[in-house]
Amino acid sequence: MKKSLYLLALLVLLGVSAFAQKKSKKDYLVTIATSQGNIRLVLFEDTPKHRENFLKLVKDKFYDGTTFHRVINDFMIQGGDPNSKDEDPNNDGAGGPQATIPAEILPHHKHIYGALAAARMGDQMNPKRESSGSQFYLVENHEGVPFLDNQYTVYGQVIDGLSIIDKIAELPKDYRDRPTQDLKMTVTAKKMSKKKITKLYGYRYE
């Protein structure tokens, strides 16, 4: 009986392992389309809560029509606030789903050039460092911003269109770091083989 149970457990584990291997052969290529050009990125598999949330918002077309509402040259560009769709620029940065995402801060995901990370409230109001339900930022500093490492969840990486991030960061802006003209985005996700992503964009999966 014990032998049979052991064999059954082993078969289940082998089945799960085979499924995981099969599943990992494909990934989602995310494209952020703007008037300045397209930014393409991948989402990390070891930050599953952020990955799932982002893909759901993309599928629901949540980000379409939102803007990059905060841009700081040599630092980052921030977007994903549904308030940026309305006519009032003063409420940009204060919106998004009420539900937050539990932090998935991993030491090997750094704030390098092109990193995708989740915005969040400060530590005093948010000691668990939970992420905004929708707002995100892309690191524009070519040297990275290591002082943010281990404080915000990094959950993806730009693999094409880094120069577009630079162009956006250099746009004219007001005293709030908001571009003086709306820079709207449309975000899509397309599933394709990891081999094709590597071939097209040179991104290497670990």
Task: Give the end-to-end CA distance of the chain in Å, rounded to a whole number.
Answer: 40
Average pLDDT over residues 124-153: 97
The DSSP code for 171 is: S
pTM as predicted: 0.87
Superfamily name and number for 26-201: Cyclophilin-like (2.40.100.10)
Contact predicate 133/56, CB 8 Å: no
* DSSP assignments along 124-158, one per residue: TT-TT-PBPSS-EEEE--TT--GGGTTTS-EEEEE
At residue 125, φ and ψ (nearest 5 deg) are -90, -15
Q: Is the pLDDT of residue 13 over 50?
A: no
Residue-range domain boundaries for the chain: 26-201
CA distance 109 to 158: 13
How large a percentage of the chain has pLDDT more than 70?
A: 89
Q: pLDDT per residue over 67-111, tens digit each?
A: 999 999 999 999 999 999 888 888 887 888 889 999 999 999 999
